[in-house]
Amino acid sequence: MTRQTRRQLSAVARHAVLSLWLIVTVFPIYWMVATAFKLPEQWLAWPPVWFPSPPTLENFAQVWVGTSVVSSGDQVLPPISLEPLHGLRNSVVIAGTATLLSVAFGLLLAYGVSRYQILSERRMFNLLMLRMMPPIVIAIPLVLWYSTLHLLDTWVGMIVVYTIFTLPYSVWMTKSFIDEVPVELEQAAQILGASKLRAFAIIVVPLIRSGVVATCLFILILTWSEYLLGLVMTAAEAQTLPVQLSKFEGTQEGRQFGLQSALSIGVTIPLIVIGLLIHKHLVRGFSFGMIRRR
Amino acid sequence: MNKAPAARKGGLFRWGALTPLILALGFLLPVLLLQIYLSVHQWTAYLGPWWAAQFVGLDLFREVLTEERFLRAVARSFIFAGASTLLSVLVGFGLAYLMQDPFRGRSFYYMLFIIPMLTVPVVVGYNFQMLLYESGPVNHILSLLVPGEVRISWLGHPVAAFASLVLIETWNWTPFVMIVMLAGLVSMPKEPVEAARVLGASRWQIFAHVTLPLLKPVLVLTLILRFLEALAEFPKFWTLTQGGPGTFTETIPVYLYLTSWDYFNVSKAAAMSYVVLLFVGVIIYVCIRALLRQKRALDIMFAQEGSGR
Amino acid sequence: MGSIRLVNLRKEFAGGVVAVENTNLIIEEGEFVVFVGPSGCGKTTTLRMIAGLEEPTSGQIYIGDRLVNDLEPGQRDIGMVFQNLALFPHMTVADNIGFGPRMQKMEPKERRRRVADAARMVHIEPLLLKLPGQLSGGEAQRVAVARTLITEPRVFLLDEPLSNLDAKLRKEMRAEIDRLHQNLKKTFIYVTHDQEEAMTLADRIIVMRYGRIEQVGNPLDIYHNPVNWFVADFFGSPSMNLLKGEFRWELGAASFRAGELCVPLSGPVPKREGAATLGIRPEHIDIHLERVPRDGDLRARVALVEPLGKDTLLYLEYGDSKNLIAIVEGHHYVQAGSWVGYSFRRDRIYFFGPDERRLLPEEAPSGTP
């Protein structure tokens, strides 16, 4: 067998294996999307309906706009007063703000650690591992503490918690990017008259742009999809989408799969879109100091 | 490494930069103290304010540590975390290995492969609930492959439910492993691999003796991160089984949540939290040591070859 | 046995980049052959194809009498030293050296003995337990060499092994490699961009440019009989002076004019006119300080003097900021700005046509009167 043949065969094998995992990966997503377009009688049908025909937008209208009424069989289901747009707004504000704050503080700290060693290596690892504590472990006293501070069910309260909890990640990730920029560049800028801060802003920040983007996305994923703390620390005012989704489920009699899917898509689509847009930046930044770039 | 010489002016800057960290810790300190208080005082919420609760010493701790339900939850957490971490590392590493060299369509695969990681865990939970439903597509596919109709109640059967959760967790987080391992593979120097080829090593030998050792730090990191995150996993359990059937999928986070918010036994939950905190802390300590060791090894390995002594 | 034969070898990369054009070459067993040329000329690609690390787009490679196109690198009975050494950073020196035998499942005791032998051959016995990160450049070099020696290959491939070393180390290691070749008497294929390395080490030099072989020959041949402008310019330090100008035919006498310079040439045949380039090496320019200017002597102003210790470089102006570099032995206390008389050694003048090719004697008047 020639090398060329061998090479072609392994390419085929590779595609086969990857395609297999591709199906496993994409199928659940496909199902969710397909179900969101199904009429109620198709939700629980056996054998299951693989392709909704005719496709309908009723589910989306019901869940997101609250206008139309969905009928299941001959029973008209009551309209669901859910105000997911309320939840959407909360999610955007809370997750967005927390992400920005976390990354900003993280950058500041990372700069300090990288250039001035304000924290030792060991402390840095301690910090990371601190984050690895299951949040549920301090959820109870946190709730009590918050109720004392009147921060329960507020935007500020959630933003503060999310910022603190994601800080270790953002510090670690941005630090690895700053480390890659030779300190000589800032020194050269300083010799030419720039202040430390200016040198950092004009020289370092542009160079670590893609890394900061990747970090932002990662923190955004964490804060947007956070569930437990949101569940126990919010009620009607500051409830985020993931919590709303579970509340929706809780109030349902029987499985409203179509509506659930329509809601779910809305909850998770922003992350998927953003993630796909910046997927090229993702490979960097997830190394936590364990990868040496050549 | 790029370390600037400590500037004299750095003093002011130091404290400025550390401020957010100090503030964060300061914010959390009362929380931890409160936790200690709660764990040694029996407080039942509807009987009065928390500061008037009765002191019970270490009773609660004793109760927790000897409770079978708690210990089973611990075991389940570990099995769940271990199994799902192992699976996602095997698959993720495999995927990364197959995708390390550029080929036509690689971007396409990559973009689709990362989607599960971007899917909110709550959504993942409800989605799989749909998939695993008795009249759902999973059973349908199995019915096509196996003679006869398959109508397994995946979430109603204890072992099946647990296994399903392990697989769902794997599905959710394999992309994370893939991304990290891919980053590691891509930044690995290629020449040692070529040298090994010339020296007659087979593909398997190259993988075992050259690739794997060079990737050990990344691998260890990934294993640790994934394992600890899996120990804390809550949304999927809560949306799919709430610990059921019975208590068969009751892991630590689930049991803790039930104790606080269902049974309202806040003090016991506090004590339990502390116990969990402690032994997770021990695990984390061991992990830190391991990671530091890996980092040191990396430093030695990549000290500039031939830079002289 | 250890001979190499390249037949119609060609390598094209994705995007249409042709790294190696249709190449044919025979390397004898035991020869020390050096591929030399500027970056991107295809020398490394050719070496890697011989090694099996790159697949040729077309053509055949024979090692000994075996067609090796379909053989993996490990099956070709070769050893290779990489430019950046490629030592396994996580293994000790001993494990690095013993890697090959270990992959062949050699008995540990036998392997240890061989490792010790190889280490002794390159004088690194005390380093056996160190890690590559703890070695100096020269030490790491030797480990890389030992690692190939131990497998006793028929052919040694070396890809710019000395480029990462400092000047002094480079000379030492060069001598080591030479010595190694003398002792082992195996075929060595060496790639470098350093013409000095090529000149000192090679039995035969293969000069490459843009994927093509420009010239093949032994060092002195290449040096004194370059086949074109490029080869002439590449070898020699300082490099050959190349003067762009033209042939003139006036009053029955031939001359070559470049800038203000006019070099009378012998005639009458062959008669040639038109643009050309004159080449003269710095060591073939004679400076006449003491004697009275003679007929045929040229004069120029000294623009710059660079004392090198053993020799001195003189920059002679022959036109608008155009300099000839001459090299003279010793130091002659010439001042920059003064005028000197000089002449070209007649039998060392080269001419190159507009197509860069060196003009043969029958094509141009020579310098010899």
Cβ-based contacts of A7 with chain C (< 8 Å)? 55
Q: In this structure, is residue A108 part of a structural domain?
A: yes
Q: Average per-residue pLDDT in chain C?
A: 87
Mutation site for B-interface testing, chosen from A33, A100, A129, A293 by largest number of B Cβ within 10 Å: A129
Q: What is the mean pLDDT of residues A79-98?
A: 79
Determine the distance in angstroms separating the CA of B297 from the nearest CA of chain C, rounded to an integer.
Answer: 8
What angle do helix axes C137-149 and C167-184 make, rounded to 10 degrees? 20
Average pLDDT over residues C212-238: 92
Q: In C39-150, which ranges are E strands?
A: 58-63, 66-67, 78-81
Query: Are A90 and A62 in the same domain?
Result: no
CB atoms within 10 A of CB C270: 13
At residue B308 the predicted structure's pLDDT band, cuts being 50, 70 and 90, is: very low
What rounded mean pLDDT belongs to chain A? 82
Q: The domain that contains B184 carries what CATH number?
A: 1.10.3720.10
Residue B140 has pLDDT above 60, yes or no: yes
Q: How far is C132 from chain B (nearest CA, A)?
A: 6
Would you put residue C79 in left (φ > 0), alpha (ψ -120 to 50) or beta? beta
Q: C257, C246 in Cβ contact below 8 A? A: yes
pLDDT value for A289: 59
**Last residue of one domain, picked from the residues A22, A56, A76:** A76
pLDDT band at B188 (very low <50, low <70, confident <90, very high): confident
- Please say if the pLDDT value at position C106 is more than 90: no
Predicted local confidence at residue C291, as pLDDT: 61
**What tokens does B262 get?**
């269902």
A199 pLDDT higher than 70 = yes
pLDDT for B38 beyond 70: yes
User: Do both A117 and A244 map to the same domain?
Assistant: yes
Of B99, B115, B270, the CB nearest to A25: B115
Judge if A111 and A222 occupy the same domain.
yes
C-alpha distance from B119 to closest chain A C-alpha (Å)? 6
Residue C258: both structure tokens together: 């470049």
Residue C84 contacts B, CB cutoff 8 Å:
yes
Distance from CA of C70 to the nearest CA of B (A): 14
Strand arrangement of the beta sheet that strand C32-36 belongs to: C78-81, C155-159, C187-192, C32-36, C204-209, C212-217
Q: Using CA coordinates, name the residue in chain C closest to B205.
A: C103
pLDDT of A279 strictly over 60: yes
Q: Give residue A164's domain range.
A: 84-282
Residue of C nearest to A5 (CA): C70
Average pLDDT over every residue of B235-250 = 86
A108-120 pLDDT per residue, tens: 888 888 888 877 7
Bridge partners for C250 per DSSP: C253
Model pLDDT, residue C144: 92
Q: Which of B195, B205, B305 sits opposite C80 (nearest CB)?
A: B195
Identify whether A68 is part of a domain: yes
pLDDT at C53: 93
Helix B212-231 vs helix B68-98: angle between axes, to the nearest 10 degrees?
A: 140
**Domain with A209 in it: what CATH number?**
1.10.3720.10
User: Does the residue B50 lie in any domain?
Assistant: no
Tokens for C362?
């029958």
pLDDT at A11: 92
- Give C16-28 pLDDT, tens digit per residue: 888 899 899 999 9
Residues A48, A143, single domain; the answer is no
CA dist B250 and B271 (Å) reads 18
φ, ψ of residue C351 in degrees (nearest 5): -125, 140
Q: Which residues, 6+ apart, have CB-to-CB distance to A74 below 8 Å?
A: none
Structure confidence at residue C232 (pLDDT): 93
A292 close to C (CB below 8 A): no
More confident residue, C205 or C122: C205
- What residue numbers bound the domain in which B111 lies? 56-301
B213 touches chain A (CB under 8 A): no
Q: Please write down the HEC assignment for all residues of chain A.
A: CCHHHHHHHHHHHHHHHHHHHHHHHHHHHHHHHHHHCCCHHHHCCCCCCCCCCCCCCHHHHHHHHCCCCCEECCEECCCCCCCHHHHHHHHHHHHHHHHHHHHHHHHHHHHHHHHHCCCCHHHHHHHHHHHCCCHHHHHHHHHHHHHHHCCCCCHHHHHHHHHHHHHHHHHHHHHHHHHHCCHHHHHHHHHCCCCHHHHHHHHHHHHCHHHHHHHHHHHHHHHHHCCHHHHHHCCCCCCCHHHHHHHHHHCCCCCCHHHHHHHHHHHHHHHHHHHHHCHHHHCCCCCCCCCCCC
Sort out which chain B residues have CB atoms less than 8 A from C164's CB and list them: 306
Which residue, B17, B80, B54, B65, is CA-closest to B274?
Answer: B65
ipTM for the predicted complex comes to 0.85
Is residue B309 scored above 50 in pLDDT?
A: no
**pLDDT over 90, % of chain C:** 42
pLDDT at A20 (0 to 100): 94
What is the rounded CA–CA span in Å between residue C85 and residue B191? 8
The yes-or-no verdict on residue C293 having pLDDT over 70 is no
Q: Report how many Cβ contacts below 8 Å link chain A to chain C.
A: 9
Mean pLDDT calculated for residue range C214-218: 94
Chains in contact with C, where contact means 3 or more Cβ–Cβ distances below 8 Å, are A, B
Rounded CA gap, B206 and B200, in Å?
A: 9
User: Going by DSSP bridges, is the β-strand pair C274-280/C350-352 parallel, antiparallel, or unpaired?
Assistant: antiparallel
Domains contained in chain C, CATH given:
4-234 (3.40.50.300), 241-352 (2.40.50.140)
| pLDDT-derived band at B287, boundaries 50, 70, 90 | confident
Report pTM.
0.84
B82-139 confidence digits (pLDDT tens): 999 999 999 999 999 999 988 888 889 999 999 999 999 999 998 998 888 887 888 8
Number of domains present in the structure of chain B: 1
Residues A193 and A64 in one domain: no
Domain endpoint, select from A60, A76, A92: A76
